[in-house]
Chains A and B, each alone.
Chain A
Amino acid sequence: MTGFVGPIETPEDLSKVREIGLSKLLNRPRIAVGLSTCGIAVGGERLFARLKEIISSGGYNIALVRVGCIGFCKEEPIVNITIPGKPLVILHQVSENDAEAIVNAVLKGGVPDEKVLCKVSSWDHITRTIIYGTGFEQIPDYHDIPFFSRQTKVILRDAGFINPEDIDEYIAVGGYQAFVSAVSSRTPEEVIDIVKQSDLRGRGGAGFPAGLKWEITREAKGHLKYIVCNADEGDPGAYMNRNEMESDPHMLIEGLLIGAYAIGTSDALIYIRAEYPLAIERLRKAIDQAREYGLVGENILGTGFSCDIQLATGAGAFVCGESTALAASIEGKTGRPRPRPPRLTDKGIWGRPTDLNNVETFCNVPVILTRGAEWYRGIGAKGNTGTKVFSLVGKVENVGMVEVPLGTTLDTIVSEIGNGGAGGKSVKAVQTGGPSGGCIPARLFDTPVDFEHLNEAGSMMGSGGIVVMDEDTNMVDIARYFINFATSESCGKCVPCREGLKHTLLILNKVMAGKGTAADLEMLESLSDTIQATSLCGLGQTAPNPVLTTLKYFREEYEALISEGT
C-alpha cells in the first residue's frame, strides 16, 4: 500500500513520501467512499464492492479508495469524487444502485448531478492546503451547506478526505511533519512548553491542562514511564473517538509519539475498547505502516529516540474510562478504580509514572506544534482554547459529528448545525457529557459550550456527546434511562455508587409507574447528593447529574407523574 521504500531518515525523505501521497490524491480520477463504521452500517461496503466490480471489469483508470467519515451521518453513505483540476465533489445518500451512474459520469469528467451535495475547491488540512481545482459552477460550495459552514475542522481536518489505511496520504496533507521536526530540532521541554502555551485542556472530560500533565509525568521519579491513550469511549450516543481513529489513525499516532518524546518514554499504549473492531484494525495497520517507515520503533530518524506503540483492548466496561480502573484493566485485573492519590502520574501502570490522555487530546498536538500555540489560542475562548468534536444525536434533524470552537453556544450547535428537532418538532433539552451529564433545557441554549459554563448549568463536557430531546420526550424517563445505564455499569466497589444508584433506579421506576410520592422526590434529591459527594470515582460522582438536572429544570414532569398516581 505504501509507496516509499525504506525508513524515513531525513526531512527530505518525508518530502518524497509527501509527493507520492499527493499523486495518490490528485493525479487521476478518484472515487472515495466514506467507510467508517457508520458508512458501512448504511450499506457503504456493498456500494464499494459494486464500484470495484464496475471499475475493474471495465479496466478503467479510476482510483477507488476507502476514506473516513466527514461527519454528516444523516447523508450517509457519502462518496467523494476527484477529477484532476476540478473541485472535489461530495455526493450524498448514495446506494449501490448509483454506482454505474457515478462511474459513467467520472469517465466523462463529470459527476452524477442528482447525488451531489457540495464541492470543495481547496481544503485546509491545517498543516497543508490541498488545491483541487476549479469548475462545476452549478454545484453549491461546501461553505454554503449550513451543517458544514458553522463548523471549524481542526481535528476532523482529514476525515473523509484521506484514506486512513494509507500513511502516504496522511503525509501528503502534512502529517508527521510536526513529529519529525519535534524529534529532530526541539527538546522535549520545548515541546511541553508549546503545548502549555496553547492552553490545550484534556478532552476526556475533566479539562486538565494537557501540557502540565506532560510536565508532571516528565518530572516524576522513575526511569520507566508509560504514555497511554484512553480510547475507551463508552458513552451511549458518543462516537467522536471512534470516528477520529477510524478516519485518521495516524493523527492519533503522531500526537502520541510527540507525547512520548515530550515526557521521555519509549513505551506508548493505546487502550481501546473491543467494541471498536474497525478502529482497532485501522490503528494496527497505521502502526505497522509507521513502523515500516521508521517513525515508530528504534532510533527514530537516527535521533536516538525510540518509541513503540502497543494496543490493549478492553472488554468494554464503561468504568474503564476512569483512569485508575483503566490502569487496572491494562494490568489484567478487573477494571475497578482505586482511591487517588496516588495519581497515575506518580504511580500508574505496574506502579510506574503514567501519562493518560484522551484520543482527541493527542489529536490536537500535531497541529499545535505545526501552527504554533498562538494560532491555537486564537480558536475558541480564553481558558477554553481550540475546538471540540461533538456527536450530535437524538431527536435532531442533522445527526452527525460536529466540530466547533469551544465557547460556541448550544443554540448554534442544535439549531443552526443540527437544524432543530427532527421532523420539525421543537427541541426541549439536550444532554451533554454522556450518561453522567446533565439535561439542559432549551431556554438555556445560549450557554456557551465550554468546561465551566456546562458545569454551571449542572452538566459537563464529558467526552462530547450531545443528545437532543424533543417535545415528545419524557424527562423522567430520560433520567431513568441514564441511571439504568450507570447502575449496570457501576463496578460495584463502593457503596454509594453500587447501592445508591440501585435505589435511585428503583425510585425512578416507582415514579414512572405512577406510584411515586412527594417524599420520593425528596429522597431522590438527598440520595443523589450523597452519591455525588461520597462515591469513590468519577462514575459515581457524576452519575446523579441527569436526575438532579431534570429535577431542577423539569420538576413539573415529576410532579405530574406523582399527581396522576394519587
Chain B
Amino acid sequence: MTEGPKMVTVTINKSQYRAEEGETMLSVAMRNGIDIPHLCYEESLDPYGACRLCMVDHVTCGKRTMMTACTMRAKEGLEIMTDTPEIVKYRSTLFELYLSQAPKSDVIKKMAARYGVTKTRFLKKIVHDDPLGGKCILCGLCVRVCDEIMGGSAIGFINRGPSTVVNTPFFDENPACLGCGTCAKVCPTHAIEIEDQGDTRVMKSWSGTRIKLQECPDCGQYFVPKAMLEEIQSIPDPGIIDELKTLCPACRAKEIAKSVFKSTFQGSVYHG
C-alpha cells in the first residue's frame, strides 16, 4: 500500500490553505488564486530562484525574512505574506530593472504595469542585432529545459555578470540542436524566434541553426524535425505501431480512426 502525500496547513496573507508537504509555496499560492509574480519558475524543473520576483515575507516568531516562494517548501505552520510594503517596494525596483533590461518585451511591460510600474529610472539596454530582440531577461528556462528535459544542451549562458547572454557555443550553428522548440515554448517573454521555411526549421535566435523537417508521407506537410523523429524512433517501444510512425499527428489520427472503424463494423459485416 502506498501512502498519499502528507497534507499540511500553511498560512498565506493571514488565510489558511491545505498543501502537500514539500510542495513549493509558489505553487500553493497559484493554485489558490493568490498572485505572486514570477518569471523563472517551471513546474517540471528544479527551483532556480533567479528572477527574484516571487520574493515573499516568511514570518517566523514575529520576525520576517524575505525568501523566494519558488524555493520555499510547504510545511506545517509555515506563514508567508505576499504584499507587505517592503515586498511591494523591492518588487517595484526589480520590475524597473527588468524594464531596463528587456525594453522590447511587452510581456514584461504588461506584467510590471499590473504591479503599478510603468516606467524605469534606469538606462534602457539597447543592443543592435540582438538575436533575442531585446526581450531576454536571462531567467534560464530555455537553457534548463534544453539540458534537463530534452538532454540537448544546445544552448547555454555565455560570459557572466551584465555581459551574460544565452546562445549556442561560439555563436555557431549547433548540430546538437534538435529543433524541438521547447526553448521557445517555455520562454516567458517570447524572446526566442523560430521560423519554418519549407523543409527547414530555422532557429533564428540560436545563430540561425538550420534543421531539416520531415515530410508527412500522406499529406505532404512538414511537421517534425527529422533528427527528433529519429530520436523517438530509436526508443525500443515508442508505443506507436510501425505504419503510423512517420505520419504527422493529423494523418495519424485519421489512420487510427479508420482502423477502429474497420475492426468494429467491417468485421461484423464480412465475418458475422
Query: Contact mask B91-130 → A, CB, 8 Å, 1/0?
Result: 0011001101100000000000000000001110000000
Identify which of B48, B86, B162 contacts A498 (C-beta below 8 A): B162
B49 contacts A500, C-beta separation under 8 Å: no
Identify which of A339, A487, A495, A501 contacts B137 (C-beta below 8 A): A495
What's the count of A-B pairs with C-beta under 8 Å? 85
> A489 on the interface (CB 8 Å rule)?
yes
B123 contacts A506, C-beta separation under 8 Å: yes
> A530 on the interface (CB 8 Å rule)?
yes
Complex Cα–Cα for A526 and B163 (A): 23
Q: Which of B94, B122, B161 has the most CB of A within 10 A?
A: B161
Return the 9 tightest CB-CB contacts between A and B, nearest first. Answer: A492-B164, A339-B49, A490-B161, A502-B162, A530-B93, A339-B71, A499-B97, A492-B160, A503-B122
> A420 on the interface (CB 8 Å rule)?
no
Nearest opposing residue in chain B for A523, CB measure: B121
A residues near B123, Cβ cutoff 8 Å: 503, 506
A-B contact pairs, 30 of them (CB 8 A): A317-B160, A487-B161, A490-B161, A490-B162, A492-B138, A492-B160, A492-B161, A492-B162, A493-B140, A494-B49, A494-B51, A494-B52, A495-B52, A495-B137, A495-B138, A496-B52, A496-B94, A498-B161, A498-B164, A499-B97, A502-B162, A506-B123, A523-B121, A526-B93, A527-B93, A534-B66, A534-B94, A536-B49, A536-B50, A536-B52
Query: Contact mask B148-179 → A, CB, 8 Å, 1/0?
Result: 00000000010111111000000000000000
What does DSSP make chain A's interface, helix, strand, loop or mixed?
helix
Also in contact, A487 and B162, with CB within 8 A (given A339-B68, A498-B138, A503-B122)? yes
Also in contact, A491 and B90, with CB within 8 A (given A499-B97, A503-B97, A536-B52)? no
B residues near A498, Cβ cutoff 8 Å: 138, 161-162, 164
Identify which of B51, B66, B121, B157 contacts A495 (C-beta below 8 A): B51
B137 to chain A, nearest CB (A): 7
Complex Cα–Cα for A502 and B123 (A): 10
A residues near B208, Cβ cutoff 8 Å: none
A residues near B52, Cβ cutoff 8 Å: 494-496, 534-536
> A533 on the interface (CB 8 Å rule)?
yes
> A334 on the interface (CB 8 Å rule)?
yes
> B146 on the interface (CB 8 Å rule)?
no
Complex Cα–Cα for A495 and B90 (A): 12
B residues near A500, Cβ cutoff 8 Å: 93, 97
Query: Contact mask A313-325 → B, CB, 8 Å, 1/0?
Result: 0000100000000
B residues near A533, Cβ cutoff 8 Å: 66, 86, 90
Q: Which of A323-382 contact B (CB under 8 A)?
A: 334, 338-339
Complex Cα–Cα for A493 and B138 (A): 7
B52 to chain A, nearest CB (A): 5
Query: Contact mask B35-70 → A, CB, 8 Å, 1/0?
Result: 000000000000111111001000000000010100
The number of chain A residues with a CB under 8 A from chain B is 29
A residues near B137, Cβ cutoff 8 Å: 495
Also in contact, A489 and B161, with CB within 8 A (given A495-B137, A499-B101)? yes
> A310 on the interface (CB 8 Å rule)?
no
Q: Which of A182-197 contact B (CB under 8 A)?
A: none
A495 contacts B55, C-beta separation under 8 Å: no
* Interface of A toward B, CB cutoff 8 Å: 317, 334, 338-339, 487-496, 498-503, 506, 523, 526-527, 530, 533-536
A530 contacts B90, C-beta separation under 8 Å: yes
B residues near A502, Cβ cutoff 8 Å: 161-162
Complex Cα–Cα for A385 and B181 (A): 58
A510 to chain B, nearest CB (A): 10
B160 contacts A490, C-beta separation under 8 Å: yes
B97 contacts A495, C-beta separation under 8 Å: yes
A33 to chain B, nearest CB (A): 40
B residues near A535, Cβ cutoff 8 Å: 52
Identify which of B47, B86, B93 contacts A339 (C-beta below 8 A): B47
B100 contacts A499, C-beta separation under 8 Å: yes
B49 contacts A495, C-beta separation under 8 Å: no
A495 contacts B98, C-beta separation under 8 Å: yes
Nearest opposing residue in chain A for B159, CB measure: A492
Beyond known contacts A338-B48, A494-B50: 14 more, CB 8 A cutoff: A487-B161, A489-B161, A490-B161, A495-B50, A495-B97, A496-B94, A501-B162, A503-B97, A503-B100, A530-B90, A533-B86, A534-B90, A534-B94, A536-B52
Nearest opposing residue in chain B for A535, CB measure: B52
Nearest opposing residue in chain A for B156, CB measure: A334
Also in contact, A491 and B97, with CB within 8 A (given A339-B47, A496-B52, A534-B52)? no
A160 to chain B, nearest CB (A): 38
B residues near A489, Cβ cutoff 8 Å: 160-161
Complex Cα–Cα for A493 and B141 (A): 12
B91 to chain A, nearest CB (A): 9
Identify which of A317, A338, A499, A527 contacts B162 (C-beta below 8 A): A499
Nearest opposing residue in chain B for A540, CB measure: B52
